Structure 1
Amino acid sequence: MTDAPTGLRERPKSPHLTVWRWHITMLTSILHRATGAALYGGALIVAGWAIALASGPEAYGQYKALLGSPLGKLVMFGMTVAVFYHLANGVRHIVWDAGHGLDLRSANASSIAVFAFTAAATLAIWLIAGMTGAL
C-alpha cells in the first residue's frame, strides 16, 4: 500500500512582498503601471478642457479657474510627473526590447536615470511655465 496522505495538501507559497527584497527595478515597474493608469485620468482632463473650450468663453473660464486653483495645479504637476516618468521608462523598455541593458548593473543605472530625467524635465517645464507667466 501507499503512504500518500488522503487529506488536502498544503498549497505552495507564491512569492510575495515579504519574500522578495525590494529593489529599484521592482519600484520602476510598479510606478510604470501606476503612471500609465494615471495618464488615463489625464486624458479625461484634456477631454474636459476640449469640451470646455468648445462650450464657449464662460465654460472655458470656469475650467481654467479650476485647473488654476491650488488643487488643480497639484493635479497638473502630478500629471507632468506621470507623463515624463512614463515616457522615460517606456524608452527604457524599448532599449530592453532591443536586448540591451538587461544586466543588473545597467538595469539599476537606467532606473536611476529614469528618476533623474523625470525630476529634471518636470522641474524644467514648471520653471519655464512660471517664468512665462503660465502659472
Structure 2
Amino acid sequence: WLFHSEFGIVNRSLTSLGLDSFDRYPWFANGTAAFAILVTLIVWQSVPFAAITLYSALTTVSPELYESARLDGAGAGRIFRSVTFPILRPIFLLVVSLEVIWTFKAFVQIWVMTRGGPGDATTILPVYV
C-alpha cells in the first residue's frame, strides 16, 4: 500500500512536496524502481539484527584495550584495525553469513510484491529456484 499508484502514501507524500509527476506513478511498472524498492525492503528488514548484534559485541570490548592503544599513540583508524575489528571479526563473519543466507529467503517478498517482474527486473536467484 505504500507504493500503490492511486492512493499510496509515497505518491501522496511526493505530490504534496510539489513533485506532481509522482501523482499516479506506477512504481512496480518500472524495473529499476521495483528493484530499488525491494532492495530497500530487504535492507530495512536485515539492518536491525546486524546493528544490534554488532553493537552488543562492541560493548564487550574492554576499555583498557582502547586506553592502552591510545597511550601507544594509535589513532582512531589504527585502533579500529588493530583492536576493535580483530575482536569483532568472529561476530562480523557470523552476521555476514546469516545475512547472506537470509537474503536467499527473499523469495517471499519478491513474489508477493512483483512476482519477479516487470519482465525479469526483480528476478533473482531464489525466484529462479
> Normalised by the shorter chain, which TM-score bucket?
0.3 to 0.5
Report the TM-score, using the length of structure 1 for normalisation: 0.33
> Greater CA radius of gyration, 1 or 2?
1
TM-score (norm 2): 0.35
